A and B are shown apart, each in its own frame.
Chain A
Amino acid sequence: MAINWFKYAAPATFYGLAGKMIPYFAWPAAILFAAGIYIGFFVAPTDAVQSEAYRIIFIHVPVSILSMFIYLVMAGYAALGLIFNTRLSSMMATALAPTGALFAFVALWTGALWGKPMWGAWWVWDARLTSELILLFLYLGFIALQASIDDPRRADRAGALLAIVGSVNVPIIYFSVKWWNTLHQGSTIKFSDTSMHIAMKQALFVMLAACWLYVIAVTLVRVRSIILERERNTQWVSELEEIRAGEQL
């Protein structure tokens, strides 16, 4: 199987493969998203303490979990690109970053929307929300650094180093923010009781799966665009149907 992997590590081959894979992720993502929204907003019962406002968790929780997961995956790809000198790995890291940042941003907004009915404030310095904010800064730093460097190789490698340093720091940051929060007796976003109604759990899992598939689909689209941009001077790109059709216009 090793031979097959390295074949797909070439941008040219991966471009085609990614293109074929996108519908298999995009459609299920859309369907699961619709199902999740239905279960979460219509089927799941009203929470005893938090009433209807709690339903925002069906978006908040999946995007929070995924925003952290994406950062680790991004750092992993970046590390692969740095160690093995594979350009495609670095391109995947660059492709993941904007979605990760978006999810962190959405997590912050949904956290705020949840906090408003709960505590009457748009922003609470909850440990998790504050860590999420710092995670957003880490994403923005990665994107800004890569955007400032013209040479693609230097951009890949510098970004990789930053992502690796960031991922080592994420647990340290999370721990210190959690400690800071408990000391200052901040509010914590929690559920009314630990055992959730079965429909709530179902909705959460479905939304989590939907978001995950969405991330994969969107990242594949983005990496294809990055591949085209980086490989624009090569022969295989100029022979692609899309490029030929574009030239004829």
Chain B
Amino acid sequence: MNQLSLFGLLGLVIRRDLLLAMRRRADVLTTLVFFVMVVSLFPLGVGPEPEMLRKMAAGVVWVAALLASMLSLARMFSADYLDGTLEQMLLVPQSLSVLVLGKIVAHWMLSGLPLVLMAPVLGLQFGMSFQGLWVLVIVLLLGTPVLSMIGAIGAALTLGLRGGGVLVSLLVLPLCIPVLIFGTGAVDAVNTGMSITPHVALLGAMFLLALVFSPWVTAQALRISME
């Protein structure tokens, strides 16, 4: 029998998760709708004054992205956990970390990428400048994968526990604060005419750090939770 290479395994897992999501489209859409709703709530809450909204825009979009990501995290492993497929995944004869990375990538494509694509539209609602929108997309593109990666650790630790999404959020949100700070900082920088390089560089560094460590840590967390 032919064994899969590591890339083959990665591709198989991503295709599998995407295929499953396509047959269950409602899950993907609810995250996106939640994101749009939360962003739209803010002007209703604080008033429609354009100057204030413009200042708040990056922060609001980022916080909404964080919350929407938290909501979707429980889905990363719970369906597989309940029907026994996760158990089989622990027995993968190649690297479990690569398999987990595949699941994280698929999760990001289903939960994070739609937010990145939707963000410019929402930014326009808040009167953001063109440059601001452009930078927002870049930092969300770098930052949302980090949210998925850190979130995966939380999702793996809380497998099958009561408390569900709230517990995961309690664990993961504090760890995501640096991403929030530099993500919004970049947009503020471009609006005040300063360089965005340090922010983007730091976000890039966090992305790489998460990419290197979180699949392995998540794999260990899965083993701990599945004992």
Contact = CB atoms under 8 A, between A and B. Distances in A.
A100 to B, nearest CB: 14
Contact of B225 (A137, A158, A165): A158
Contacts, number: 70
A144 B227 contact: no
A137 B162 contact: no
Interface residues of B, number: 26
A144 B170 contact: yes
A183 B185 CA distance: 9
Contact of B181 (A137, A165, A176): A176
Contacts of A169: 174-175, 178
A165 B153 contact: yes
A148 B167 contact: yes
A144 B169 CA distance: 11
Interface of A is mostly: helix
Nearest to A160: B224
Contact of A145 (B157, B173, B181, B202): B157
Contacts of A148: 158, 161-163, 167
Interface string B146-189: 00000001000110011100010011011101100110010010
A57 interface: no
A162 B177 contact: no
B177 A176 contact: yes
Interface in A158-198: 158, 161-162, 165-166, 169, 172-173, 175-177, 179-180, 183
24 contacts: A137-B174, A141-B174, A144-B171, A145-B157, A145-B158, A145-B167, A153-B227, A154-B225, A154-B227, A158-B157, A158-B221, A158-B225, A161-B217, A161-B220, A165-B153, A166-B175, A173-B177, A175-B178, A176-B177, A176-B178, A176-B182, A177-B181, A180-B185, A183-B185
